[in-house]
Chains A and B, each alone.
Chain A
Amino acid sequence: DPKIIQKPKYLVAVTGSEKILICEQYLGHNAMYWYRQSAKKPLEFMFSYSYQKLMDNQTASSRFQPQSSKKNHLDLQITALKPDDSATYFCASSQGTGGNYAEQFFGPGTRLTVL
């Protein structure tokens, strides 16, 4: 059974619209993250949450808003979509932060295409 679920797997959106990317983890982890991988670029850290609180935000744009309704959920709302937002978005989680708890497990990703 998949331990980290991301929905949908593929998403096509029009410029200016709004989408929500879903992430649920069933590993019992306390920390969750979002990363983005644009074409021909490395994985790029976006946000980290620990116990449902925002810890780090490396995303310059306020159009990207993480939402944590439950400890094992971390959704990503993206508003006013632009073609440059096209990327694969990976959710990840870890038992905790720091030291031996730092191992992050990744979900399968959501591939977003903005037309």
Chain B
Amino acid sequence: GDSVTQTEGLVTLTEGLPVMLNCTYQTIYSNAFLFWYVHYLNESPWLLLRSSTDNKRTEHQGFHATLHKSSSSFHLQKSSAQLSDSALYYCALSVWGGRALIFGTGTTVSVSP
């Protein structure tokens, strides 16, 4: 079945350093939509980035990701981490015309001064 893999459960880093969170997915469908959601404690998850276009970089709030269908990847990157980036990040896949979101296990990012 369709699935999303996030290999890092926890990423700890110092403010100002770059961030990269891995996301790979599996699906038999060609019309994959990939998303990154951010989940702060005691808040609702909200959409950070999304893409369905192969090899096109998408950016928002200093984060960027590029969907590579050849490698089934949608890694999230930021050049300089901020304290406010500390949160749980989910990569998600949708293949049913945008209905069900299939989430990865999530990566907790902890940024320290």
B13 cross-chain contacts in A, Cβ below 8 A: none
3 shortest A-B CB distances, which residue pairs?
A102-B98, A98-B97, A106-B44
A108 to B42, CA, bound (A): 8
A106 to B43, CA, bound (A): 9
| Inter-subunit contact B101/A45 (CB<8 Å) | yes
| Inter-subunit contact B45/A90 (CB<8 Å) | yes
Which residues of chain B have a CB within 8 Å of any CB of chain A?
Answer: 33, 37, 43-47, 50, 52, 90, 92, 94, 96-106
| Inter-subunit contact B50/A90 (CB<8 Å) | no
Partner of A102, one of B46, B50, B90, B104: B50
A4 to B99, CA, bound (A): 18
A55 with B99, Cβ < 8 A, contacts A90-B44, A90-B45, A106-B45 known: yes
Enumerate A49-67 residues with CB–CB distance to B below 8 Å: 50, 55-56, 58
A48 cross-chain contacts in B, Cβ below 8 A: 99-100
| Inter-subunit contact A109/B44 (CB<8 Å) | yes
| Inter-subunit contact B45/A97 (CB<8 Å) | no
- Nearest to A102 among chain B residues (CB) is B98
| Inter-subunit contact B103/A43 (CB<8 Å) | yes
| Inter-subunit contact A97/B103 (CB<8 Å) | no
B44 cross-chain contacts in A, Cβ below 8 A: 4, 90, 105-109
Enumerate A1-53 residues with CB–CB distance to B below 8 Å: 4, 31, 33, 35, 41-45, 48, 50
